[in-house]
Amino acid sequence: MNLPFDPISARAQDIATKVEAFVREVVIPYESDPRRDHHGAPLDELVYEMRDRAAEAGVLTPHVLPGGDHLTQRETAVVLIRSGLSPLGPLACNTMAPDEGNMYLLGKVGSEALKQRFLQPLIEGRARSAFFMTEPAEDGGAGSDPSMMKTTCALDGNHWVINGRKTFITGAQGAAVGIVMAKAAEGACMFLVDLPDPAIRIEHIPNTIDSSMPGGHATVRIENLRVPADQMLGEAGEGFKYAQIRLSPARLSHCMRWLGCCIRAHEIATDYACRREAFGKTLIDHEGVGFMLAENMIELKQAELMIDWCAGVLDSGSLGTVESSMAKVAVSEALMRIADRCVQVLGGTGVTDRTIVEQVFREVRAFRIYDGPTEVHKWSLAKKIKRDWKHAHAG
């Protein structure tokens, strides 16, 4: 297993350096660009303009190498952290959820034909995607517990017919590629679909606390969606296994990107504290402010090391379910504290849109819920502790 003190490859360091320069020099000026929807999320026009510039700079989809090979998870971490230095950075560099996780899953499970048709446009940054798994609570459907899935699929000749409702489907509006999860007699299945499709109707896109992802988090109704049998991802009944292949790295990728955002927020708060004077000295010389920034420095490093440790576990070939739960809890909770301190250090400015700190605070608050709330991960870890105890005391 790779440990935190093992060196990161020169290729990854080189890519990360280029990504950081691009985000700081090209992407950050776009943060004030008005091309946003009613909720403040960037419009696709803005996304694809930034992606054109990323392609020119050689940093588009930087975690996927020419030929389709993927950087290791530890290498991916140093790259995605840099892309996260702006909330727009992952969109510009094509390292954003849900596309990054969907590309990873397709690369692991998809046939060559499916990769060519659905994966290649994603890698090239020409399309966005959506992952249809979560279902409305009012329907009693799958949320944190995917085994509660209500959406069904049934074979009809050489097509599967899918019916159900999904909710909090990130990026559904404007996506060109969809991965739809449904339940058959054999168990859970996944399907690749072209979007938009008249059989997938967006019912509602709520305003949410976060606003970094184009297309929002939609509730959709799927009525008699016919999908050719050869567009099933992998094998029938293996959907939950494939979800785990996707979810552990995707949880960690979120940690990487939002760590980058919190590094930037900390930079902004530090700059303010070192320039602003009150009561006869700069803010950082007041113990209450200086200690907050010191705590940020400590927790930023702890988050970085936790990510690196979990990435090493994934690189060893393990699914990393337990480790990714630990990392997701530790990192998301730490980043919440870091973002909160940054708002506090900035005072009144911290609750305005004059800096990205206010947005980072909102985004990280949402991150504590999506990809599994903190409490669900803790519950899962507690069950493992009990299983391990029983095993140790058996007989």
Say what the pLDDT of residue 298 is: 98
What is the distance, to the nearest Å, from the Cα of residue 388 to the centroid of all Cα atoms in its chain? 30
CB atoms within 10 A of CB 394: 6
Say what the pLDDT of residue 1 is: 35
Residue 213: C-alpha distances to residues 23, 39, 115, 173, 366 (Å)? 17, 10, 24, 11, 12
Reference 64, options 127, 25, 7, 106; nearest CA is 106
Kindly list the structural domains of the chain, giving each domain's residue range(s) and its CATH number in brackets, ordered by start: 10-123 (1.10.540.10), 129-236 (2.40.110.10), 240-389 (1.20.140.10)
Say what the pLDDT of residue 395 is: 67
Reference 102, options 167, 192, 186, 13; nearest CA is 192
Say what the pLDDT of residue 3 is: 45
Question: Which sign does the torsion angle of CA 340, 346, 347, 349 carry?
Answer: negative
What secondary structure letter does DSSP report for 111?
Answer: -
The Cα 188–Cα 182 span in angstroms is 6
The pLDDT profile of the chain, 395 residues, written as one tens digit per residue, is 344 457 899 999 999 999 999 999 999 999 999 999 988 999 999 999 999 999 999 999 999 998 878 999 999 999 999 999 999 999 999 999 999 999 999 999 999 999 999 999 999 999 999 999 999 999 999 888 888 999 999 999 999 999 999 999 999 999 999 999 999 999 999 999 999 999 999 999 999 999 999 999 999 999 999 999 999 999 999 998 998 888 889 999 999 999 999 999 999 999 999 999 999 999 999 999 999 999 999 999 999 999 999 999 999 999 999 999 999 999 999 999 999 999 999 999 999 999 999 999 999 999 999 888 999 999 999 999 999 999 999 86
H/E element holding 302?
Answer: helix 287-315
What is the distance, to the nearest Å, from the Cα of residue 350 to the centroid of all Cα atoms in its chain? 24
303-326 in b/e form (b: 16+ CB < 10 A) is bbebbbbbbbbbbeeeebbbbbbb
Say what the pLDDT of residue 54 is: 98
Say what the pLDDT of residue 5 is: 56
Sort strands 152-156 and 129-132 into parallel, antiparallel or unpaired: unpaired
Reference 315, options 32, 54, 77, 60; nearest CA is 77
